[in-house]
């Protein structure tokens, strides 16, 4: 997605090397994805779901009737 839209940047981070980040985002299972510090989820998701979450993170989300995702949590 970062390759398609220049407003999006994506970082893949080895959490063990950067424990500050691992702690900040409470990384336990892998992988944990955090979008704009607000939307986050654990594990792999489909391309469609990732797109849903990206739009949600910028306030353009819409309720999906088949959504299985738990309510987004915000970082403390």
Partner 1 sequence: MPILSPQDHQAIQERFRKDLKRRVTLKLFSQSTSRLFVPGRECPSCPQTQQLLEELSSTSPLLELETIDFYNHQEVAREYGVERIPATVITRGKASGVKFYGLPSGYEFVTMIEGIIATSQPRPPLSADTRKRLRLVDQDVHIQVLVTPT
Q: Is 12 in the site for partner 1 (CB under 8 A)?
A: yes
Q: Is 75 in the site for partner 1 (CB under 8 A)?
A: no
Write the CA distances from 24 to 37, 44, 61, integer angstroms: 10, 20, 25
Minimum distance from CB of 73 to partner 1 (Å)? 15
Minimum distance from CB of 63 to partner 1 (Å)? 15
The CA-CA-CA angle for residues 47, 7, 42, to 5°, reads 40
Q: Are 36 and 29 in contact (CB under 8 A)?
A: no
Give the interface with partner 1 as residue ranges (CB under 8 A): 1-18, 21-22, 25, 27, 30-37, 47-48, 51, 54-55, 57-58, 60
């Amino acid at each position: 997605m970062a390759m398609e839209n220049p407003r999006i940047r994506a970082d893949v981070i080895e959490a063990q090397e950067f424990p500050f980040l691992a702690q900040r985002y409470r990384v336990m299972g892998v992988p944990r994805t955090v979008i704009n510090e607000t939307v986050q989820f654990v594990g792999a998701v489909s391309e469609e779901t990732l797109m849903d979450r990206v739009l949600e993170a910028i306030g353009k989300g819409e309720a999906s009737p088949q959504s299985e995702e738990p309510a987004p949590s915000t970082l403390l």
